[in-house]
Structure 1
């Protein structure tokens, strides 16, 4: 597939910017005498769980791990060995295998290098506002996943909406439902009214809302409001496409059910449409049952509305 030359230029511009920011063009990384590659070799040796004492790696495995030319890695290890930071010796199990491990001086050198890098990153992050910092870290995770890395299961936090995020709820509902289902602005208007009623009520004992934050970015939401004295209503469940399949929706619904139970409700209901198949599966797994359904024309589409409920 052909790649837009402008995109190539944008990536190269970012690379030039970021390599300067983190100092990899300097002769030593983070003010130490070690190059970036040497620092990475020391890191892998210091953090490997293999070997009798730890810190022992097969040279061929190290080369594959770092994707380094064999001759280049050999020269790096020779420099580190001459400095007294590593040793190289044949494996006792297989003389054809060469093992490299950190010496005590090597461990001390890595500890100093690691502390210097932590301090450098702290200085980098210090002037970044909390919101910008979360966005930056989330973008780093996105880059890793997009390029085939696996940063691990996304960090999920459920929390109350922060100032400005009720507007995010309205905006994301409007944008996603227009994109995925072709619903018009009347749906966004309905969501805005639900959110406005929630904010006006300001009843923390009987209602609550949660934002699902994944790797520092809002990725979903759900609201629990009062239908009457004994019945709660689940509203505005949403999960961003990038967070789907990771259990975010199920966690939001579970939190809503826990709150409704603690608040003293005996039953909870919800209204949805039959086209929202993923949401319906979440509701079914959470114990909701379909009570009734009825065709209607709303948001510029012919739909089938559904009423679901369960006991608490």
Structure 2
């Protein structure tokens, strides 16, 4: 399907912005006062921050001509900044990595880049600085091509239960200020679940996004008629994809399919996103009381969903 025509005024506006911004950040000059071009510094940056990429991966991701990239890499090798090592998966392929001398050469460029960004932002009042950052982020989001993400919900495997405990400890500490008391509580829940797990009446799911673990949830048997939803967690970069709602839906479908009459869960009033999912699925708040735990003052909540 052809794209709609772009008005000349919009083309002119983009070109005008490009001229302004490239002049403002000095792209046309030797980059950061160094002997390198912007492209060469970008290649150095990728080598410093990636785990041994191949030349073809760098060329693809940076949209660089293979011959041009090869000349840059040979220059870096000549300076003793770059070495090639055989790939353990395929000896015909070489992996690239910076030498200690390469990291030493890159470090001042990295700091100069930070200093220039600071100098660009420092004269602006807080409100204008916030508007500028928001506009930059909006441009990036609008111009990035849509990415197809692969989501898989699978059964837990060895190592997953430890990951569930770790994610609860890290996420709740970072986002809510919980102490290690909460991680210890989760470790006890996970240990009991692992010892007593009954696959006939209980089930767990691990969510993967592009092959990486990003979430979990479990349904455990509380009585012949009541199941309990436990250990719902989702990492920060997997949010906004409705994965939390999907995990809760799997729990409801499983509990209903097993003939449970009720699905219950415990949460606290601080977890707004999770509570919104529960409410949208028909769960009702049946009990609420103050709770002081994990170094915080909370509201303990019990929610319940009638399955039939």
TM-score higher than 0.5: yes
Task: Report the alpha carbon displacement of residue 249 of structure 1 after superposing the two structures with TM.
Answer: 0.2
Q: Does 1:11 align with 2:6?
A: no
Counterpart in the other structure of 1:212: 207
Counterpart in the other structure of 1:191: 186
Provide Cα deviations, 1:175-229, integer angstroms capped at 9, x if missing partner.
0000000011111011111111111013001111101111110111101001111
Residues 21 and 181 (structure 1), Cα distance of their counterparts in 2 relative to 1, 3 Å cut: same
Residues 125 and 299 (structure 1), Cα distance of their counterparts in 2 relative to 1, 3 Å cut: same
Structure 1 segments unaligned to the other structure (5+ residues): 26-34, 38-123, 128-144
Q: Does 1:182 align with 2:177?
A: yes
Counterpart in the other structure of 2:261: 266
CA–CA separation in structure 1 for the residues paired with 2:250 and 2:59: 45
CA–CA separation in structure 1 for the residues paired with 2:216 and 2:259: 22
Structure 2 SS opposite 1:225: strand
Structure-2-length-normalised TM-score:
0.57
Structure-1-length-normalised TM-score:
0.57
Q: How many residues align?
A: 198
Structure 1 SS opposite 2:304: strand
Q: How does 1:2-41 map to 2 (within 5 A)?
A: 9-13=44-48, 18=53, 20=55
Counterpart in the other structure of 1:96: none
Please report the RMSD computed on the Cα atoms of aligned residues, expressed in angstroms: 3.3
CA–CA separation in structure 2 for the residues paired with 1:251 and 1:18: 35
Structure 2 segments unaligned to the other structure (5+ residues): 1-24, 26-31, 35-40, 68-86, 91-139
Residues 306 and 20 (structure 1), Cα distance of their counterparts in 2 relative to 1, 3 Å cut: same
CA–CA separation in structure 2 for the residues paired with 1:233 and 1:16: 42
Q: Does 1:277 align with 2:292?
A: no
Residues 298 and 263 (structure 1), Cα distance of their counterparts in 2 relative to 1, 3 Å cut: same
Structure 1 SS opposite 2:157: coil
CA–CA separation in structure 2 for the residues paired with 1:254 and 1:9: 46
Structure 1 SS opposite 2:158: coil
Structure 2 SS opposite 1:180: helix
Task: Report the alpha carbon displacement of residue 20 of structure 1 after superposing the two structures with TM.
Answer: 2.6
Q: Does 1:159 align with 2:154?
A: yes
Provide Cα deviations, 1:150-196, integer angstroms capped at 9, x if missing partner.
44342111111121010000000000000000011111011111111
Counterpart in the other structure of 2:196: 201
Q: How does 1:290-305 map to 2 (within 5 A)?
A: 290-305=285-300
CA–CA separation in structure 1 for the residues paired with 2:222 and 2:88: 45
CA–CA separation in structure 1 for the residues paired with 2:88 and 2:144: 23
Counterpart in the other structure of 1:236: 231
